[in-house]
């Protein structure tokens, strides 16, 4: 039965995000998005699509870990990828696509969100065209979250090496309400 709802594009910045370059520090890929107070109701789902480019070196490509956080870069982890292996062949500006889904399970304070996602690192992946699921196994809902206050939703990246040039830049972001 229909919930009498519709999809809506909530945010689509028209400028490139800041480059994450040569660091092993967990860093936001795009500026935090503030979710308004009392936005989530049970079943409401947000989809975030991030498209950009990434480079890595041949000698020590390392790994990349992606996360969605509630409450900013130091906030609660909603979901994290495995340490995704980067290509052992040098890559320059390979196209990447990352997607997250965040669904409200319990609306309240505290409330519960379930987040999942996927990442295609293009040529930057050790296997070209591979799509990695986020998390790698057993998605889990995260409870004890403040869903009645305005809170920052963050999407972060963390490289395991800071070899130059190991970098990532998001060039397109779409934040959509699916219902």
Task: Please check whether residue 2 lies inside any domain of the structure.
Answer: no
User: How confident is the chain (179 residues) per 10-residue block, as mean pLDDT?
Assistant: 74 94 97 95 96 92 96 97 91 95 94 97 79 94 96 97 94 95
Would you state the structure tokens that stand for residue 89, as one six-digit string? Answer: 């062949």
- 15 lies in a domain? no
* Beta-bridge partner residues of 155: 68
**Residue 94 forms part of a structural domain:** yes
Q: Please indicate, yes or no, if residue 28 is contained in any of the structural domains.
A: yes
**Rounded Cα distance, 2 and 94, in Å:** 40
The DSSP annotation for 75-99 comes to SEEEEE---EEBPSS-EEEEEEEEE
Residue 104 lies in a domain: yes
* C-alpha to C-alpha distance for 127 and 105, rounded to whole angstroms: 35
* Domain, as residue range, for 105: 23-177
Within 8 A by CB and 6+ apart from 78, the residues are 67, 68, 69, 70, 102, 113, 115, 142
Question: What is the C-alpha separation between 65 and 153, in angstroms, rounded?
Answer: 17
Number of domains in the chain: 1
- The answer as to whether 12 is a domain residue is no
On whether residue 128 sits in a domain, the answer given is yes
Q: Does 18 reside within a domain?
A: no
- The pLDDT of residue 1 is 44
């Amino acid at each position: 039965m229909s919930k009498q709802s519709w999809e809506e594009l909530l945010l689509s910045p028209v400028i490139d995000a800041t480059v994450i370059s040569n660091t092993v520090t967990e860093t936001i890929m795009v500026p935090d998005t503030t979710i308004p107070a009392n936005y989530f109701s049970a079943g409401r789902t947000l989809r975030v699509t991030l498209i950009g480019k990434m480079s890595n070196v041949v000698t020590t490509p390392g790994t990349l870990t992606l996360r969605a956080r509630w409450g900013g870069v130091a906030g609660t982890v909603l979901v994290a990828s495995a340490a995704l292996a980067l290509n052992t062949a040098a890559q320059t500006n390979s196209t990447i696509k990352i997607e997250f889904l965040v669904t409200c399970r319990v609306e309240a304070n505290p409330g519960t969100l379930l987040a999942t996602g996927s990442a295609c690192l293009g040529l930057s992946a050790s296997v070209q065209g591979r799509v990695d699921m986020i998390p790698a196994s057993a998605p889990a809902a995260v409870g004890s979250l403040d869903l009645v206050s305005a809170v920052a939703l963050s999407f972060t990246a963390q490289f395991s090496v800071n070899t130059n040039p190991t970098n990532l830049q998001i060039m397109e972001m779409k934040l959509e309400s699916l219902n």
